[in-house]
Structure formats: C-alpha cells, structure tokens
Structure 1
C-alpha cells in the first residue's frame, strides 16, 4: 500500500473577535488555539484587524521608498548589537536585503531611524512604521499572556513585558532572474523570544518546516500576521514550544516581496531562564539560563551559523 502524504497548513486564529479580553469565552477559545498551534507548529497565522488596510498599504509604500534609497546610504544602518543592522549584498542570498529598527514600537526608536535615513525627516514613513510596530507589539503581548496563563505562570507576565524590547526588521526580496536560484533567505530559526511577520504586498514566499521534516508554504492575506516562536521561548518553556525552521522561496509571482518582521529580545543585562513551575519529573530542565544578547553574539559569528 502507498503511504499517505500529510499536507500541512498553518492554523489560522481569529484575533478580531469582539471583547477579546482575559476571562472571556473568546479569549479562552483563542488562547487554547494559539497555544496548541505553537506547540504543534511553533507558529500560526493571526487574523488581526488592528493592522488596518490603511496601515498595511502605508507600510508597503514606506518600504518601497526606503529600499529605493542608494545602497551606500542603506549600508550605514549599523548597530552595536549583533544582527541589528543592515544585511544584504550577500552572494549566496542575492535576492535579500534588510534593515533593522531598534525600539521600533517607540516614537524615539522610529524617529532615530527615520532621521538617519532622511536627515530632513519623513513623517509619512515614521507614522506608518510606528502604527504597525505598536499594533504588532500588542498582538505579541496578547499571545505571550495566553501562553503564560496556559502554563500557570501568569504572575511573571508583567515583569516579562517590561523586560523586552522590539527590533523591527524591514525586508525586501527582489524578483529572481531566470538563471538565479529562487532562495530568498536560508532556513533558520528566530533567535528572539517571539516574532511577528507581516507581508506588506501579495507576493508569497514564506515556508515552514513541519515536525515531520516537510516544508510547506504559507499564503497570507493583507490582514494577517504570522506569530512565531523564537529560540528564547523554546528555552523558557522547557521545550514545550519549539522554534520552527523557516525560509523564503521566491516563486512564480512577479515583482519584489516586501515584509516586516518584529522580534522581541530581553534587555541587555537580563537572562532567559525556565520558570521553576515548568520543571518537573515529566519535564526535566533542558536548558541553562543564558544572556539573550550573548546568544545573538554567538550566532552572529559565521562559523556558528552552520549550527542552525
């Protein structure tokens, strides 16, 4: 007998429901679905109307304008933090180019980036990116609260939220030429606690690796955001939630792909550690505590990236 091929599809969870507040039936339903999806796939698609069609369109226009700047300007996007600045002009991923915005959900963070790129200012860019980044941070905070509640460690939620900052990475994948490989970005896991990914134009390409090793594509609507576990929440949850490998493949669609990924990282001096409540006879401690910034530094070294 022939074997059946499992066709994967990421769960889609509705975060547009009215009264989506802790303690309500809608919260309980969304929470159960979100935690199950994170435990099964490490990610899910959230329908999220706080990223309105206007925000979606404004961010797309803002990213087009940003990536049209001269390369010599874009490469000056640098940071003392590893993996926070410009990435591009790399021979084995020639389609990919990105920049990082530190503290992206704050006015100061957005303005620092904007004023560096446009010394005379660019209010439209600032307003679009700040509106999106704030909405994405609110979505992540909801999901994190659901996870903490589900695992019985909600007492740590407020201190966790106060301990993270957000890096927004804005990305462009140009269309592959006929003779070029279609790889947009290599397979990897995110080094964050959690990530949110929004595709700002309708050029798909994100692929996820299932537990069985199969790769499958993700089709995204303008009102959807992928919520993804990073390596830090895998350690924090004592391996209950695993960070999924994912990559970008540029397919048959014409034109460039633009997206924005927002990553949460612990503040510089703080450690990622498993709460004692998540360690028991059935779940022995699997991870030592670690400094999140040091973890980024480790993977910023080329010789360590093969460990992906």
Structure 2
C-alpha cells in the first residue's frame, strides 16, 4: 500500500522478494514498587516496517511532534503498523519513523511484533526525487544500518540515518534555501 500510494508500486514485488522478517514475542512484567513504569524506552525501529499486536493490556504510546506522548488504543483485533528508520531513507524523507514506548500499569502485558528488513541494497526510487524534493539519501545496506545503530546508540533516528546514508550537500542546500524545518524530525 505504501509503494502504491507514492506511485512506485512497480517496485513492491522486488522489495517483498528481498525482505526478511523477525518475529518477536514480548512479555512485560508489572513494575515493582519504586520502579519506573517504562516497559521499553522511547525509540524508533531500525526496520523497514514493524507490525505490532498487543494483548488486551494497552501500553503502547507514540510521541507527537510537540513531544507529547499519547496512548495507542487498539481494538482487540487490530495491529499497529510503524514505519522504521529504513523507510525514512527509502522514502527520501517523506515517511518518518515514530518514537514509541511501552508504559506499564498494574497488569503484565504481552505483545508480538513482526519486523521487516530488506536484504541487500535499499535505494530511493527515482520517482521520489526531483527538483522539488532532491535526493537526500544514498543507496544503503539495511543490515549495515542495523550494525551502525549498534555502534552508535546515542544517535537519534534522524541523526543515525543521515550519518549512515544521508547526502550531506542535499541537507545543507535544503536548509540554506528554506530553513531547517524541512529536515526529518
């Protein structure tokens, strides 16, 4: 659906053939007295896309641009689909990964997450770069981005992706013309 919405559906079959998946089951215990209620610290996923299914115990939260955290209330039969860091680069900065976390309350929580990773080289489709939206990211190895994240845990999502595969001159020319608000946040 994402490929189709950006007019690059012709690349979706090739992308799916080059995708590997990691399925993870997560269990979160109730915090002990005087422990923080944070089940997972705020982060973005390094995946291309993540799909999360939580049990009846809610706890997933996403951060808005103004820094406010809001709960993600999912009906029992629903999934949350979350863009990852790799999609930021693939979409040439159009699709941003969201910061999310898990907050624990008085009940244990379980979830299952499916993470997708592109095997081989990821590149911005030529249709997503033009004079109005210049190329911002070089082709990159998705598993190389994963390794880069492990070696640079202090970098935020946008810093990490820009440092790993961003085109420096593209960001500088964009910022000098229209200001830094065009950078992903």
Q: Give the shorter-chain TM-score range.
A: 0.7 to 0.9
Selected match of 2:132 from 272, 279, 282 = 282
The SS at the match of 1:306 is: coil
Q: Deviations over 1:41-60 (max 9, x none)?
A: xxxxxxxxxxxxxxxxxxxx
Q: Comparing both structures, which one devotes a greater share of its residues to strand?
A: 2
CA distance in 2, matches of 1:279, 1:231: 18
Q: TM-score, normalised by structure 2?
A: 0.81
Q: Name stretches of at least 5 consecutive residues in structure 2 with no aligned partner.
A: 157-185
Aligned partner of 2:66 in structure 1 is 212
Aligned partner of 2:3 in structure 1 is 148
CA distance in 1, matches of 2:124, 2:67: 27
Q: Deviations over 1:149-185 (max 9, x none)?
A: 1211111111011000110111111001121111111
Aligned partner of 2:77 in structure 1 is 223
CA distance in 2, matches of 1:278, 1:177: 49
CA distance in 2, matches of 1:250, 1:265: 28
Superposed displacement of residue 300, structure 1:
2.0
CA distance in 1, matches of 2:78, 2:21: 19
The SS at the match of 1:213 is: coil
Aligned partner of 1:233 in structure 2 is 87
Aligned partner of 2:154 in structure 1 is 306
CA distance in 1, matches of 2:25, 2:139: 30
Aligned partner of 1:190 in structure 2 is 45
Superposed displacement of residue 261, structure 1:
0.8
CA distance in 2, matches of 1:237, 1:262: 20
In the TM superposition, structure 1's runs of 4+ consecutive aligned residues that sit over 4 Å from their partners are none
CA distance in 1, matches of 2:135, 2:64: 24
1:162 aligns with 2:4: no
Q: Name stretches of at least 5 consecutive residues in structure 1 with no aligned partner.
A: 1-145
Q: Deviations over 1:261-296 (max 9, x none)?
A: 1010012xx111101110011111111221111111
1:295 aligns with 2:178: no
Aligned partner of 2:182 in structure 1 is none
The SS at the match of 1:207 is: strand
CA distance in 2, matches of 1:197, 1:240: 22
Aligned partner of 2:109 in structure 1 is 257
CA RMSD between the two structures: 1.1
CA distance in 1, matches of 2:132, 2:33: 52
Q: Flag the structure with more relative contact order, 1 or 2, with Cα contacts below 8 A and sequence separation at least 6.
A: 2
Correspondence 1:20-31 to 2 at 5 A: none
Correspondence 1:24-43 to 2 at 5 A: none
Selected match of 2:102 from 248, 251, 254 = 248
1:202 aligns with 2:48: no
CA distance in 2, matches of 1:266, 1:240: 18
Max Rg structure: 1
Q: TM-score, normalised by structure 1?
A: 0.49
Aligned partner of 1:181 in structure 2 is 36
